[in-house]
Amino acid sequence: MKHSVWALMALCAGFLTACDSDSDNNLPNGGEEESVEKYIVAASGAEAIYLLEAENLEAGSLTTEGAPVEVETATAWLFPKNQYAYRLVYAQGNAGTGSSYKLDESGHLVEREIAFSITDRFTTYGIYGDYIICAASGATDQYDTVDVDKSYPKYGVTFTYLDTEEQTKHNKTIVTEDLLGNGERYTVSGIVESDGKFFTALCSEGFSPYGVWKNHDAIVEQLTAAGEDIDATIIKTEAGLYNSIGSTIYPNEVAVAIYEGTSFENPIILTDDRLSTATSRYRSQYYSTIDVADNGDVYVFSANHAGAREGIYKSDRPSGAIRIKAGATSFDRDYFCDITALSGGHSLFKVWHISGNYFLLQMFAEPGFYTSGMNQNTNRLAILKADTQTFTWVNGMPDDNAISSLGSSPYFEDGKAYMPVVFRKADGEEVADDPAVYCIDATTAKATKGLTIKADNGVSAIGKLHN
Predicted confidence band of residue 391 (pLDDT cuts 50, 70, 90):
very high
Mean pLDDT score of the chain: 88
pLDDT digits (tens, 9 = 90+) for 321-376: 999 999 999 999 999 999 999 999 999 999 999 999 999 999 999 999 998 877 89
pLDDT of residue 160: 82
DSSP string for 378-426: --EEEEEETTTTEEEE-BSSPPGGGEEEE-SB-EEETTEEEEEEEEPPP
Question: Which one has a higher pLDDT value, 118 or 352?
Answer: 352
Give 31 or 202, the one with higher predicted confidence: 202
A 10 A CB-CB count for 7 gives 24
How does pLDDT run across 261-270, given as a tens digit for each residue? 999 999 999 9
Residue 11 reports pLDDT greater than 60: no
**Out of 10-24, 132-146, 331-345, least confident range:** 10-24
Q: Where is pLDDT greater, at 277 or 236? A: 277
Per-residue pLDDT of 401-460, as tens digits, reads 999 999 988 899 999 999 999 999 888 787 789 999 999 999 999 999 999 999 988 898
H/E run at residue 225:
helix 209-225
On the question of pLDDT at 91 being above 70, the answer is: no
Give the DSSP H or E segment for 214.
Answer: helix 209-225
Q: What would the pLDDT profile of 396-411 be if each residue is shown by its tens digit?
A: 999 999 999 999 888 9
Number of other CB atoms surrounding residue 122 within 10 Å:
26
> pLDDT: is 310 or 132 the higher one?
310
